[in-house]
Amino acid sequence: MITRPRIIYVVPLTNGLVDHLDSIAESIEIQFGAQVKIMKNQGLPTYALDGARKQYNSNMILKQLLQISPPDTLKILGITDLDLFSPIFKYVFGEAQFGGKGAVISSYRLSANPDGDSERGCPPLGDRMEKEAIHELGHTFGLRHCTDPDCVMHYSVGIQCADRKFAFFCSVCRDLMLWHMAKDLFLKA
């Protein structure tokens, strides 16, 4: 029997962040119109730790996420509070397989103002994580960065710039996302 991919899985990769998981999952469900399930906590991704950089390799985490994804996975999103890097970049807020299945985001660099030591004037961490989660999942649906500064797919240089955009798609990105989703749901099975 063919199992159709239909569920977006959210995977905690640490022991923290439990407070935000439900709200992020709810927001994903609203924006993508797909069923969202929170998987059990997978613990720290020690396999991805780069000793020299003292950071976690997001590429390796993505590979691991794909390995643990259930057959009915439409997309799988890892959430961690660790400092992520991709080999060519110093750090990343998150990473996604463009047009693929997996994405990962981190709260590590989302939790503070740019000076890194103050929480004052900073929007709730959950809001930023919600936007980052939708943004990265958007990439897995084949969406590129959007020129509309209000759209969640807009690329913001720096966290503060990201605060001004909304946690949902502009009409163009929404239509594109639905088109890609229809393709994922009904053609790839």
Partner 1 sequence: MNENARILIVDDEPMVCLALTNWLKEENYLASSVGDGPGAIAAIGEEKWDIVLLDLKMPGMDGLEVLREIKKIAPQTVVVMMTAYASIPGSVQAMKDGAYDYLVKPLDVQELTLMLHKITRHQQLVQENIMLRKQLHEHHSYENIIGKSQAMQKVFELIRTVADTTATVLVTGETGTGKELVARAIHANSSRRYSPFIGVSCGALPETLLESELFGYEKGAFTGAERTKKGRFELAHNGTLFLDEIGDISLKTQVKLLRVLQERSFRRLGGTEVVEVDVRLIAATNRDLLKAVEEGIFRSDLYYRLNVINVHLPPLRERREDIPLLAESFMGKFNLEFNKKFDRLEKKALDLMIEYQWPGNVRELENIIERAVVIGQGPEIKAAHLPFCRPDTSEPSGGNSTGDGSAGDGLQLLEEVEKSHILRMLELNQWNIARTARLLGIDRTTLHKKISRFCLQKQ
CB of 113 or CB of 147, closer to partner 1: 147
Is 136 labeled as catalytic in the residue annotation?
yes
Kindly report the backbone phi and psi dihedral angles of residue 119, in degrees, each rounded to the nearest multiple of 5, phi listed first.
Answer: -100, -5
Stretch that binds partner 1, among 118-126, 128-136, 140-148, 177-185 (CB under 8 A): 140-148
Calculate ∠ Cα 46-47-50, nearest 5°. 80
Rounded to whole angstroms, the Cα distance separating 100 from 96 reads 8
DSSP 8-class letter at 42: -
CB of 25 or CB of 84, closer to partner 1: 84
Segment 103 to 132, residues that bind partner 1, using CB under 8 A:
none
By CB under 8 A, tell whether 145 contacts partner 1: yes
By CB under 8 A, tell whether 183 contacts partner 1: no
Contact 96, 137 (CB under 8 A): yes
Q: How many CA atoms lie less than 13 Å away from 118 in the CB half-sphere?
A: 6
CB of 41 or CB of 86, closer to partner 1: 86
Residues that bind partner 1 (CB under 8 A): 85-92, 98, 139, 144-145, 147, 155, 157-158
